[in-house]
Amino acid sequence: MRYKDTGEVHKDFHLAVDRTITYIMEHYGEQFLIDLCKRTSQQVYQDIYRHLKEGDLCALAEHWQYYYTREGGEFTLTQDNDQLVLTVTKCPAAEHIIKIKGSLSPYYHRFDELLVGSWCEHTPFVSTFTVHNPVSYTITVRRNHASQ
């Protein structure tokens, strides 16, 4: 893994993410948020993105497994050669934001969806993001055979 943090977790950063998403959407609009997500997914997480472009889901799977575990999330992750499915029943970020401020940014899940979408851009994969309730969602990254 390119980044692998250890030690304590500072969950208040999720509040800053939530506030930042709302601020961007209200002042700059969705295209700006898309640009930020692309830079984050494709440049900050260059290693994950490179693996996806090569058709390899392992780096993304390892990243999700590590960080959802590290933050105390409740989730299942299934993977085969063509598909990675992350089902989150209790998102630690969303849960912390709701606990402290009462609700999520109306754009919170859109941000997550854009991050994953940016990871899949120009790769053999496509993604879907389904929200079940504020702290629960399923992300599917599957091979797009139509693009092969």
CA 31 and chain centroid, separation: 18
Backbone region of residue 122 per phi and psi (left: phi > 0; alpha: psi in -120 to 50; beta: other values)? left
Window 62 to 101, contacts with another protein (CB under 8 A): 67-68, 70-71, 73, 88, 91-94
Q: Which of 87/144 has CB closer to another protein?
A: 87
φ/ψ of 65, rounded to 5, equals: -60, -45
Can residue 119 be called a binding residue for another protein (CB under 8 A)?
A: no
Q: Does 14 bind another protein (CB under 8 A)?
A: yes
Contacts of 111 (CB under 8 A, 6+ apart): 17, 21, 33, 37, 105
* Cβ-based nearer residue to another protein, 54 or 147: 54
Is residue 44 near another protein by the rule CB under 8 A? yes
Binding span for another protein by CB under 8 A among 42-50, 54-62, 126-134, 140-148: 42-50
- Closest by CA to 87, choosing from 137, 17, 19, 143, is 137
Closest to 108 (Cα-Cα) out of 126, 121, 119, 96: 96
Q: Is 104 in the site for another protein (CB under 8 A)?
A: no
Q: Which residues of the shown chain bind another protein in the complex (CB under 8 A)?
A: 2-3, 5, 7-17, 19-20, 23-24, 27, 32, 35-36, 39-40, 43-47, 67-68, 70-71, 73, 88, 91-94, 111-112, 115
